[in-house]
Amino acid sequence: MLERDRDAPGMSQLRTTPAVLDRIARELPDHPAVVTADRMLTYAELRSEVRHAAAAMIGLGVGPGDRVAIWSPNTWHWVVACLATHYAGAVLVPLNTRYTASEATDILARTAAPLLFASGEFLGADKAAAVDRPALPALRHIVRVPIDKADGTWDEFVASGTDLAAVDARAAAVAPDDVSDILFTSGTTGRSKGVRCAHRQSLDASAAWAACGQVTSDDRYLCINPFFHNFGYKAGILACLQAGATLFPQLTFDPVQAMGAVAEHRITVLPGPPTIYQALLDHPERSRYDMGSLRFAVTGAATIPVVLIERMQTELDIDIVLTAYGLTEASGFGTMCRADDDAVTVATTSGRPIADFELRIGEQGEVLLRGPNVMLGYLDDPEATAAAIDDEGWLHTGDVGELDAAGNLKITDRLKDMYICGGFNVYPPRSSRCSPASTASPRPPSSGCPMSDWARWARRSSSRCRAPSWTPTP
């Protein structure tokens, strides 16, 4: 175990992703880094694959600061492509797998991405084939990631990366303040905005998250949260990378598969929205699986039943159960409970600031955050940036909350027109732009209804709506 990982923010001297990858591959070369059903990469092998993929990017003309997009579910290819993008000095642009082709095209056009990694056939969809190439003159290359069929171009792409000296020079030139990623989020109108964060921000914030959960190289992390979201990318890939933990990506959430993975691989870390834990706890086959290895879970929502936290601690025997609050504009994080908080505090609050954030409650009870990990700004939108970050550096979150006597944040409402359904942010203005059939969708149940009712409503709504614009939230 890397003992200093327990003080992860102290690794701030390694404030670029390439530097962190080089360090962990040097210190834990034979330690498993990423494990899926069809591939296992040690940290040394991960670095090698990343360097060759980065060399291939450079060979295709990807330059420093260029945007590289990924439109795919959780695979080991996603991890390599992400880290290779950083290693080549480029900027990562994750695309929500729930985007329609037109939504993805819009973001690819706005970022002028010359390279896209897109999944082949998976669950009846083909992201790579869906891309509107004529509408994207800047998009010169698409690498097809194989999932359901062996129809990808990944192997040929990586094999073309041979100039490793150029890669190492490019990686060494990456600076902590360089933009590392642009994650798109929705505002009050549902209009997507690209949030720009630097390497130091993405790393420092995710390291603080990992420190709250005491994540180390002994941990085995089942990542159900999608990589296109902060909860999967920063609290998943980057947290594991900095701690030297082993990442087990899961393509989709299936309770039986998740329980089987926990039992087989002795998973210790399992983050997710409340509905995931509810599904595991209530599954009729749970007793067949040994999930005693679980020690850390983190979830989040405005309100979580205290009994759910208690059941996670007692029935699933999870040592550390925490809740957190964050948003993309704050590098994905903001506040978090601590390991010694009681079940009521964990269930009814989102904890205290992490990642060097200051927190105060502003006018109308709005939650304000300030600190070094507030975003650099929105992509090509200085007006929206100025509206979100005031002259004193406070980020206006659009969420309404209050602080208890111990300084724990309680989210009580939202200024923006958005609600959470099953762990996803739903923006009604965007949902209304679905097909005419979507007008038959029922109204969502009240926020106080059982989670099973939310799940049923989500299934009904998504079946009637061609483009549910949902983004997972911690």
Say yes or no: 331 and 222 in one domain. Answer: yes
At residue 300, the pLDDT reads 84
At residue 303, the pLDDT reads 75
Does the pLDDT at position 183 exceed 90? yes
Q: Give the C-alpha separation, 326 to 420, whole Å.
A: 14
Q: Give the C-alpha separation, 55 to 170, whole Å.
A: 10
Domain end (from 414, 445, 464): 414
Does the pLDDT at position 107 exceed 60? yes
pLDDT tens-digit profile of 316-337? 999 999 999 999 999 999 999 9
CA proximity to 312, closest of 304, 303, 322, 321: 321
Least confident of 13-22, 79-88, 110-119, 415-424: 415-424
Q: Are 181 and 199 in contact (CB under 8 A)?
A: no
CA-to-CA dists, residue 67 to 91, 176, 230, 362, angstroms: 5, 17, 18, 36
User: Under 8 Å CB-to-CB from 213, ≥6 apart: which residues?
Assistant: 269, 296, 298, 320, 322, 339
Q: Tell me the average pLDDT of the chain.
A: 88
14 confidence band (pLDDT: 50, 70, 90) = confident
Q: Give the C-alpha separation, 420 to 443, whole Å.
A: 13
CA proximity to 147, closest of 177, 180, 168, 118: 118
Alpha-helix runs per DSSP H in 192-273: 199-212, 230-232, 239-243, 255-265
Say yes or no: 324 and 401 in one domain. Answer: yes
Is residue 459, in this structure, part of any structural domain at all?
yes
> ∠354-357-360 over CA atoms, to 5°?
115
Is residue 53, in this structure, part of any structural domain at all?
yes
At residue 5, the pLDDT reads 38
DSSP 8-state code for residue 380: T
Say yes or no: 217 and 155 in one domain. Answer: no
Say yes or no: 107 and 255 in one domain. Answer: no
Is residue 268, in this structure, part of any structural domain at all?
yes
Q: Give the C-alpha separation, 244 to 429, whole Å.
A: 41
Say yes or no: 279 and 401 in one domain. Answer: yes
Say yes or no: 328 and 207 in one domain. Answer: yes
H/E/C letters for each residue in 129-165? HHCCHHHCCCCCEEEEECCCCCCCCHHHHHHCCCCHH
Say yes or no: 389 and 457 in one domain. Answer: no
Is residue 299, in this structure, part of any structural domain at all?
yes
Mean pLDDT for 229-233 is: 97
Q: Give the C-alpha separation, 271 to 250, whole Å.
A: 12
And the tokens for 426?
């739903």
CB atoms within 10 A of CB 30: 8
Mean pLDDT for 434-454 is: 36
Domain end (from 174, 193, 214): 174
Q: What CATH number does the domain containing 107 carry?
A: 3.40.50.980
Is residue 182, in this structure, part of any structural domain at all?
no
Is residue 431, in this structure, part of any structural domain at all?
yes
pLDDT tens-digit profile of 258-276? 999 999 999 999 999 999 9
And the tokens for 81?
């492509």
DSSP 8-state code for residue 309: H
Domains of the chain: total: 3
- Residue 145 buriedness (CB in 10 A; 0-12 / 13-18 / 19+): buried
Reduce the DSSP state of residue 237 to 3 states and report it: helix
And the tokens for 241?
């990378």
Residue with tokens 């962190």: 20
Q: Give the C-alpha separation, 347 to 307, whole Å.
A: 8
Q: What CATH number does the domain containing 311 carry?
A: 3.40.50.12780
And the tokens for 279?
């599904």
Q: Write out the residue range of the structural domain in which residue 443 sits.
A: 419-472
Say yes or no: 318 and 403 in one domain. Answer: yes
Q: Are 128 and 118 in contact (CB under 8 A)?
A: yes
At residue 40, the pLDDT reads 98
Say yes or no: 266 and 366 in one domain. Answer: yes
Q: Give the C-alpha separation, 62 to 5, whole Å.
A: 33
At residue 455, the pLDDT reads 42
At residue 103, the pLDDT reads 94
Is residue 100, in this structure, part of any structural domain at all?
yes
Is residue 189, in this structure, part of any structural domain at all?
no
Say yes or no: 370 and 401 in one domain. Answer: yes
Q: Give the C-alpha separation, 32 to 268, whole Å.
A: 14
Strand locations in 227-348, DSSP E? 246-249, 296-299, 320-326, 334-336
The length of the chain is 474
397 confidence band (pLDDT: 50, 70, 90) = very high
Say yes or no: 325 and 366 in one domain. Answer: yes
User: Under 8 Å CB-to-CB from 408, ≥6 apart: which residues?
Assistant: 335, 337, 345, 349, 350, 351, 352
Reduce the DSSP state of residue 72 to 3 states and report it: coil
CA proximity to 408, closest of 471, 472, 340, 473: 340
Say yes or no: 83 and 224 in one domain. Answer: no
